Chain A
């Protein structure tokens, strides 16, 4: 475990951070909690000579669950524990709680989790291991080791936070070279679907905050992992639902841990808007979502099982919503599980 020497910058403002990123363009990484970037550095997955630490920038620490604004440096631990988050954004709190172990969640940040490096058995290895394997598409090589003759990389988005935030329709504030911009969270991820890119942020752009608008959505998050703790997801699913007068006006589903980026199932859920949630919707949705899942064998568990569990979660979570709905149309009862 050996990191090449690097310079550590500790800017106090976003402007300063972006300027530093521009100055060292091509040889720089932002450092948030460090739980992803540091192991990567020590394994030689990233070889940059400049790290820009974001923890000293007050604006990135904004934590306003009432208004639904969370700075990128918000720790996973605070998302998990904050009573207001727990009440208003159930799936967010469940997902934060399901990540790694408690000590890791102290350091790990919301921004870091959203932009976490995609994972693959052939990539998340030491420099020695990868060299002995002659590299892969994502690092030091030219061939994919998972899919023979694969021309793209299948490394998996393995964060916990994107699915719930996507299901709740989050937007993100981004500080780029042309200034501040706000866009849907979906846009953070590469549409091309190549695992070499963990996200679609241009180099030097900085994720500032995540915004959630509607605190009245029902939401759930369920995660498949090998053990009770502390593993990465090998499949996860989040749902956000809202009905007004018995008709869906918000219905979103997002899947993590399966593809190179979190998958948002808008084309499956959108047609149901304006209609009531029902068994028919559940059946059709589960089937359509199942058809969208194509995991490849780059994590420990069998791919057909990962697909099965994710659709199973979807079915039980939707059923739970339906059961609740039949009692009263309400929100914010915790749903989801980690298994």
Chain B
């Protein structure tokens, strides 16, 4: 081993970012570039009666005005649910939906012209509540919903003897959870630059997590063959799921460029980003857990209703994930799930970090805490009794490989001094625990026919001796460029500085399904390792030609190829030797996901080649007077297999905790009816640095058999456990169970007052069975 994988390597693009030289989409300009602006609907649900465009056309500097009627083809990230159009066609389904677009010589000219477009609407009934959407409606939001409902998706799954489990259980606990929507709030607002050139080619630079899906959507909507569309991903200022779908403005810019024959750039305002949303679904659910008298889980029953907003996005997957991702890390012998996703006239919900699993995980871990109390058991002991083992199968036929959840729980217990704190801290202070489980990449690609590899990586080396990596995986800040560089340098035994990652460009990079579902390290990492091993074989063969020693004897190390008996040549010698045959060297590696999952409907949702596990402990102090929850410290034990770069893994954990605590303590897409009340970073309240607790990361995973160098995901799984860990700590502190988020100080204060009126605050009872 060369020690590059596994070490705390700083981001390879760090110096560019720290000096302000890294280029993001909004930083790019082209000669003759125009600026686009989108006219947005002030109505949440309305028929478009008429549009008056001529005033906008006559504004100075305006080059084109377009409407949805000319671009009626629908798109959507999932091929089975294409229900978005780049601009509204016939009717609008949410406030903020685009209805027309303008290209002009400056952003100001474009906005000024956009304001001149007069649209007459005829209001339709507005739906703000998915409960109403599931019932009979007078006006359907989308024609394809079943019957006269606004349902988008309904899932029913049942495994094992559910009825019997709940009938015979010694203990049943129920949690009724209510969660508002939250959104990604990546710091970079979405931006796109499109250039349709006279050779009938379209080039689009965009702030996207998945260039490949954008590539497909542009081709489909604009009816341009895929081979004439090129997508380039510059630096992306954060995604978290919010840049995973092809988005309307990306296609609008391309359409405007084709209309005007000039490059067109669109940079969204922060408010527009809020209307784009595609964030975490507002959720209501009832979760029940059954257990026997010894605390063995017997059954799980969940009924969830999620608010999809006005489009499908990833919602079909989300609907499944709300249920199926709860089948770990515990053994569930009987499982029932009923999930529904309703359309409403709000900005679409979609995928957001720890997609579909956060809200269910919250209620599940709270339910386990409640169960432990009923059983008078330490919640850690209860969890220990129920963990899935490594190398097993869940009730819904997920294949589990490596699993270090036991080590996670032990580590967080020891480091947090759990045994001296649980139920022993004074009133107002508390400690809580929760676990986690997440996929390392969705095993079934969204576009699964024909079965292409999920990720392909190409390497190229020429006379200069630098290895260029071509990959379609998107670095959106998480550091995938660094990880792929480490893997390639590790295999080839060359310094990191000899490796460079080409920008994602669909003309030159092989297809990768992009940055979502925590798939990149696992899938691209495996592809990169294969590509590097292929390259190494070419070098070894050349080394054999030079030295006469069998190629298999050569190990790559420190920029040299070394064989037993002090035989050593520089890698460049080998490269130059190999190049005599066919010039610059190339190699390719691919990752194809294994065949996984059962045979039932929806069996593939949630299957993954590997799963991450987690056990977090949080300690809190509740200011009873002011209702504030101060999270003092989080011990985050995480099993990402072998961490390829512990510094980046810690960064993912710390960032996840920040985001998870944000959802728990303050973040909320605040609606009145269909109206979003807080579309700004001032009023949508992410945590400030002052509220951020100390975080101790405990990376205790063991190597995964199929992960690249034993690695699994670390991008999303670190998020969900922190919310219930803190909620359980709050219960330990003041005896209050919260099942509705967020826990803003005013709501906590109200609950505390009620509790005080009902007999005062006190510690919940201590367990009889302790953590051992």
- Whether A associates with B in a native complex is yes
Contact call B626/A126, Cβ cutoff below 8 A = no
Residues on B with beta carbons closer than 8 Å to the beta carbon of A300: 670, 678, 683, 685, 744
Determine how close the nearest CB of chain B comes to the CB of A45; give it in whole angstroms.
Answer: 14
Given A128-B40, A305-B627, also A2-B111 (CB < 8 A): yes
Residues on A with beta carbons closer than 8 Å to the beta carbon of B623: 339
Q: Is A181 an interface residue (CB 8 A)?
A: no
Q: Is A226 an interface residue (CB 8 A)?
A: yes
Determine how close the nearest CB of chain A comes to the CB of B404; give it in whole angstroms.
Answer: 35
List residues of B (666-707) whose CB comes within 8 Å of A's CBs.
666, 670, 675, 677-679, 682-683, 685, 687-691
Contact call B689/A226, Cβ cutoff below 8 A = no
Q: Is B737 an interface residue (CB 8 A)?
A: no
Given A2-B108, A300-B678, also A228-B746 (CB < 8 A): no
Q: Is B595 an interface residue (CB 8 A)?
A: no
List residues of A (188-241) whose CB comes within 8 Å of B's CBs.
226-231
Contact call B666/A227, Cβ cutoff below 8 A = yes
The number of chain B residues touching the other chain, given as a range, is 35 or more
Q: Is B429 an interface residue (CB 8 A)?
A: no
Determine how close the nearest CB of chain A comes to the CB of B673; give it in whole angstroms.
Answer: 11
Q: Is B747 an interface residue (CB 8 A)?
A: yes
Contact call A226/B744, Cβ cutoff below 8 A = yes
A320 to B679: give the CA distance in the assembly, Å: 40
Residues on B with beta carbons closer than 8 Å to the beta carbon of A226: 666, 685, 744-745
List residues of A (291-317) whose CB comes within 8 Å of B's CBs.
300-302, 304-306, 308-309, 312
Residues on B with beta carbons closer than 8 Å to the beta carbon of A231: 682, 685
* Closest partner residue, chain B, to A133 (CB atom): B675
Given A126-B271, A305-B745, also A132-B666 (CB < 8 A): no
Q: Is B749 an interface residue (CB 8 A)?
A: yes
* Closest partner residue, chain B, to A44 (CB atom): B115
Determine how close the nearest CB of chain A comes to the CB of B551; give it in whole angstroms.
Answer: 60
Given A2-B111, A126-B271, A300-B683, also A227-B745 (CB < 8 A): no
Q: Is A103 an interface residue (CB 8 A)?
A: no
A312 to B747: give the CA distance in the assembly, Å: 17
Residues on B with beta carbons closer than 8 Å to the beta carbon of A142: none
Contact call A229/B626, Cβ cutoff below 8 A = no
Determine how close the nearest CB of chain A comes to the CB of B716; give it in whole angstroms.
Answer: 25
Given A2-B108, A128-B42, A132-B43, also A227-B271 (CB < 8 A): no
Determine how close the nearest CB of chain A comes to the CB of B46; give it in whole angstroms.
Answer: 11
Given A228-B691, A309-B626, also A301-B745 (CB < 8 A): yes
A133 to B673: give the CA distance in the assembly, Å: 12
Give the residue among A1, A128, A226 with the most B Cβ atoms within 10 A: A128
Residues on B with beta carbons closer than 8 Å to the beta carbon of A229: 688-690
Q: Is A6 an interface residue (CB 8 A)?
A: no
Given A128-B40, A228-B690, A301-B744, also A121-B628 (CB < 8 A): no
* Closest partner residue, chain B, to A315 (CB atom): B625
Contact call B269/A227, Cβ cutoff below 8 A = no
List residues of A (66-108) whose CB comes within 8 Å of B's CBs.
none
- From the candidates A2, A132, A228, A339, name the one contacting B95 in the complex (CB within 8 A): A132
Q: Is B8 an interface residue (CB 8 A)?
A: no
Residues on A with beta carbons closer than 8 Å to the beta carbon of B201: none
List residues of A (100-131) whose CB comes within 8 Å of B's CBs.
121, 125-126, 128-129, 131
* Closest partner residue, chain A, to B691 (CB atom): A228
Contact call B746/A301, Cβ cutoff below 8 A = yes
A229 to B750: give the CA distance in the assembly, Å: 23
Determine how close the nearest CB of chain B comes to the CB of A44; give it in whole angstroms.
Answer: 10
* Closest partner residue, chain B, to A305 (CB atom): B746
A328 to B42: give the CA distance in the assembly, Å: 62
The number of chain A residues touching the other chain, given as a range, is 20 to 34
Determine how close the nearest CB of chain B comes to the CB of A307; give it in whole angstroms.
Answer: 11
Q: Is B112 an interface residue (CB 8 A)?
A: yes
Given A2-B108, A121-B677, A300-B670, also A339-B628 (CB < 8 A): yes
Contact call A228/B689, Cβ cutoff below 8 A = yes
Residues on B with beta carbons closer than 8 Å to the beta carbon of A228: 688-691
A230 to B271: give the CA distance in the assembly, Å: 19
0 or 1 for each of A267-306: is its CB under 8 Å from B? (1 = yes): 0000000000000000000000000000000001110111
A2 to B481: give the CA distance in the assembly, Å: 38
Give the residue among B95, B108, B626, B675 with the most A Cβ atoms within 10 A: B626
Determine how close the nearest CB of chain B comes to the CB of A182; give it in whole angstroms.
Answer: 36
Given A129-B679, A302-B750, also A227-B95 (CB < 8 A): no
Contact call B746/A227, Cβ cutoff below 8 A = no
Determine how close the nearest CB of chain A comes to the CB of B621; give it in whole angstroms.
Answer: 13
0 or 1 for each of B99-112: is its CB under 8 Å from A? (1 = yes): 00000000010011
Determine how close the nearest CB of chain B comes to the CB of A181; give it in whole angstroms.
Answer: 36
A2 to B670: give the CA distance in the assembly, Å: 25
List residues of A (1-44) whose CB comes within 8 Å of B's CBs.
1-2
* Closest partner residue, chain B, to A2 (CB atom): B111
Contact call B112/A2, Cβ cutoff below 8 A = yes
List residues of B (741-769) whose CB comes within 8 Å of A's CBs.
744-747, 749-750
Residues on A with beta carbons closer than 8 Å to the beta carbon of B685: 226-227, 231, 300
Residues on A with beta carbons closer than 8 Å to the beta carbon of B112: 2
Given A131-B42, A339-B628, also A227-B691 (CB < 8 A): yes
Determine how close the nearest CB of chain A comes to the CB of B552; give it in whole angstroms.
Answer: 60
A29 to B678: give the CA distance in the assembly, Å: 27
- From the candidates B42, B628, B683, B687, name the one contacting A132 in the complex (CB within 8 A): B42
A87 to B746: give the CA distance in the assembly, Å: 34
List residues of B (15-52) whose CB comes within 8 Å of A's CBs.
40, 42-43
Determine how close the nearest CB of chain B comes to the CB of A298; give it in whole angstroms.
Answer: 11
Determine how close the nearest CB of chain B comes to the CB of A155; give it in whole angstroms.
Answer: 15
- From the candidates A1, A230, A308, A309, name the one contacting B269 in the complex (CB within 8 A): A1
Determine how close the nearest CB of chain A comes to the CB of B65; give it in whole angstroms.
Answer: 17
Residues on A with beta carbons closer than 8 Å to the beta carbon of B670: 300
Contact call B688/A305, Cβ cutoff below 8 A = no
Given A1-B269, A2-B112, also A339-B687 (CB < 8 A): no
Contact call B625/A312, Cβ cutoff below 8 A = yes
Residues on B with beta carbons closer than 8 Å to the beta carbon of A125: 679
A131 to B690: give the CA distance in the assembly, Å: 36
- From the candidates B666, B678, B683, B750, name the one contacting A305 in the complex (CB within 8 A): B750
- From the candidates A128, A227, A308, name the one contacting B688 in the complex (CB within 8 A): A227
Residues on B with beta carbons closer than 8 Å to the beta carbon of A1: 111, 269
Residues on A with beta carbons closer than 8 Å to the beta carbon of B691: 227-228
A133 to B628: give the CA distance in the assembly, Å: 33
Determine how close the nearest CB of chain B comes to the CB of A68; give it in whole angstroms.
Answer: 32
Contact call B749/A308, Cβ cutoff below 8 A = yes
Determine how close the nearest CB of chain A comes to the CB of B565; give it in whole angstroms.
Answer: 64
* Closest partner residue, chain B, to A131 (CB atom): B42
* Closest partner residue, chain B, to A121 (CB atom): B677
* Closest partner residue, chain B, to A128 (CB atom): B40
Determine how close the nearest CB of chain A comes to the CB of B659; give it in whole angstroms.
Answer: 15
A302 to B683: give the CA distance in the assembly, Å: 15
* Closest partner residue, chain B, to A227 (CB atom): B688
Determine how close the nearest CB of chain B comes to the CB of A6; give it in whole angstroms.
Answer: 13
A62 to B746: give the CA distance in the assembly, Å: 41
A2 to B115: give the CA distance in the assembly, Å: 10
A19 to B699: give the CA distance in the assembly, Å: 69
Pairs across A and B, CB under 8 Å, 15 listed? A1-B111, A2-B115, A121-B678, A128-B40, A131-B42, A226-B666, A226-B685, A227-B666, A229-B688, A229-B690, A231-B685, A304-B750, A305-B749, A339-B623, A339-B628
The 10 closest A-B pairs by CB, nearest first: A228-B690, A132-B42, A305-B746, A302-B746, A2-B111, A301-B746, A229-B688, A227-B688, A228-B688, A305-B749
Residues of B in contact with A (beta carbons under 8 Å apart): 40, 42-43, 95, 108, 111-112, 115, 269, 271, 623, 625-628, 666, 670, 675, 677-679, 682-683, 685, 687-691, 744-747, 749-750
A1-B269, A228-B689, A301-B744 known, 19 other contacts, Cβ within 8 Å: A2-B111, A121-B678, A126-B271, A129-B679, A132-B42, A133-B675, A227-B685, A228-B691, A229-B689, A230-B682, A231-B682, A300-B670, A300-B678, A300-B744, A305-B627, A305-B746, A309-B626, A339-B623, A339-B628
